[in-house]
Chain A
Amino acid sequence: MTETTGNLHVMNRAALTKRLVAGLKNREAVIGGIGNSNWDLWAADRTRGENFYMLGSMGLAAPIAMGVAIAQPKRRVFALEGDGSLLMQLGCLSTIAAQGVRNLCVVVWDNGIYQITGGQGTPARASGTDIVAIARASGIASAAWAADEAEFDALVARALATDGPHLIGVKIDNEPGREQTDRDPIRFRESFMRAMALPV
């Protein structure tokens, strides 16, 4: 598990999202953050009812996932969130840690930019902010950078098998989302609720 950002391989969000979703075998819930995180989740498997796609409310992927995880302690729950989005709601890391949400894993796609609005750099990139270090300092002990694809797989496997909360930081490239979701929030909510009503 990689502790610092010095030697991280830059990966691709679409490829890793596909990799993550393909490895989920127990109806795990996945909450996609607004924009690219969402769109690559949609592209990875739009037929998956356990995916929930946000259309706004930037920064709330982790809180929504936390709510799902509290309601269903036996189900593993992932939040896929961009670094810019998480920066809008950093306090949620303390809330997650304070409640000790064991079945929750937050994946942070970190490219240091607001890709969707034109690629402007985040203040965190300019300052050298380390999001995994923030997570740890917030009380999420199981927080680590994924140095490469193999380590990403290992960290996901750990999140599926051990008590969290977990956070996985991933340095990604600047590629935009590959597809865009439908804009049908009521259908997303209904299909997600139906999927959540099925046992794990």
Chain B
Amino acid sequence: MNEPARPANTWHEILRQAFKDHDVRLVTYVPDNVLRPLIEGCHADPFFTTFPCVREEEAVGIVTGATMAGMRGVVLMQTSGFATLPNVLASLVVACQVPVVMVVSERGTLGEFNPGQAIVCRTMRPILDSMGIEHHTMTRLDEAAFIADRTIRQAFATRWPACLILSPLLTGGRK
């Protein structure tokens, strides 16, 4: 018997579908354990050009270039990687108004064991707020598709970067 087609029912399937719906074809990432199913799903799907970068700011540079040349992209990273980004976000992405979409798996909260990660996590939202970069924290599966779709849509419509933060409430986080 064939399995009936089923709607996306995991957070990573939902995100991958949202990328597709908005023609986001370039997926760059700095590896992260929580993001693994999303990264693997993008690698396995020929719709996407998916590859790892050595630094988050490098990935933002690549996506900026691709976006300006007509190919939309996303940068996947974890919280500590995001913390390396203020200079490139301010002086390139925001200054030039390029709609770079970021997806950050949130570490450093809700049971973090590493004090360094916990402190880094507290810098993330103030950095985004200081530059007026819209961000939404995804905590519930039933809201995930709406938040991902609308956030990505607005980023491209308004030519402004945006950030989706994946809460451990959604992903299960790092055990």
- Identify the A interface with B (CB < 8 A): 29, 31, 52, 54-60, 63-72, 75, 89, 91-92, 94-95, 98-99, 185-186, 188-189, 192-193, 196-197
Further pairs besides A55-B95, A56-B90, A57-B57: 15, Cβ < 8 Å: A63-B62, A64-B62, A64-B65, A68-B66, A68-B68, A71-B66, A71-B67, A71-B69, A72-B69, A72-B71, A89-B55, A95-B58, A186-B96, A189-B97, A192-B68
Among A55, A66, A186, A197, which residue has its beta carbon within 8 angstroms of that of B91?
A55
B114 within 8 A of A: no
Given contacts A57-B57, A92-B54, whether A70 and B62 have CB atoms under 8 Å apart is: yes
Contact of A66 among B57, B62, B67, B98 (CB under 8 A): B62
Asked, given contacts A55-B91, A57-B88, A68-B65, whether A91 binds B96 with beta carbons under 8 Å apart, the answer is no
> Of A67, A94, A192, which is within 8 A of B66 by CB?
A67
- What's the least CB distance linking B143 to chain A, in Å? 31
- CB-contacts of B33-80 with A (<8 A): 49, 51-55, 57-71, 73
Tell me the dominant secondary structure on chain B's binding face: helix
Cα A37 to Cα B66 with chains together (Å): 21
Say whether B26 faces chain A, with CB atoms less than 8 Å apart.
Answer: yes
* Chain B residues in 8 Å Cβ range of A94: 54
Residue among A55, A56, A67 with max Cβ neighbours from chain B (10 Å): A67
Q: Are B49 and A56 in contact (CB under 8 A)?
A: no
> How far apart are B113's CB and chain A's nearest CB, in angstroms?
29
CB-contact partner of B96 in A58, A63, A70, A189, under 8 A: A189
Give bound CA distance, A193 to B60, whole Å. Answer: 17
Q: Are A193 and B68 in contact (CB under 8 A)?
A: yes
- Known contacts A99-B51, A188-B96, A189-B98; is A67 also within 8 Å of B90 by CB? no
- Closest residue to A60 on the B side, CB-wise? B61
Chain A residues with CB under 8 A of B52 = 95
Q: Which residues of B contact A (CB under 8 A)?
A: 26, 49, 51-55, 57-71, 73, 87-88, 90-92, 95-98
Q: How far is the CA of A72 from the CA of B90 in the complex (A)?
A: 26
* A60 to B59 alpha-carbon distance, docked (Å): 9
Residues of A within 8 A of B53 (CB): 63, 95
- Given the known inter-chain contacts A71-B70, A89-B58, A189-B97, please indicate yes or no for A95 contacting B65, CB distance below 8 A: no
A71 to B24, CA, bound (A): 12
Q: B92 contacts A56, CB within 8 Å?
A: yes
- The one of A56, A63, A69, A196 in contact with B58, judged by C-beta atoms closer than 8 angstroms, is A63
Known: A70-B26, A70-B49, A71-B71. A95 touches B54 (CB 8 A): yes
Determine whether the beta carbon of A60 is less than 8 Å from that of B70: no
B31 to chain A, nearest CB (A): 13
Assembled-state Cα–Cα distance A196/B49 (Å): 20
- The 5 A-B residue pairs whose C-beta atoms are closest, nearest first, are A56-B91, A67-B65, A91-B54, A63-B61, A71-B71
Which residues of chain B have C-beta atoms less than 8 A from A31's C-beta? 65
**Does A92 contact B26, Cβ atoms closer than 8 Å?**
no
Q: Is the CB of A98 within 8 A of B51?
A: yes
Task: Among B49, B53, B59, find the residue whose CB has the most chain A CB atoms closer than 10 A.
Answer: B53
State which of A60, A75, A91, A92 has its C-beta within 8 Å of the C-beta of B88. A60
Q: Which residues of B contact A29 (CB under 8 A)?
A: 69
Q: Is the CB of A67 within 8 A of B73?
A: yes
Query: Do A67 and B64 have beta carbons less than 8 Å apart?
Result: yes
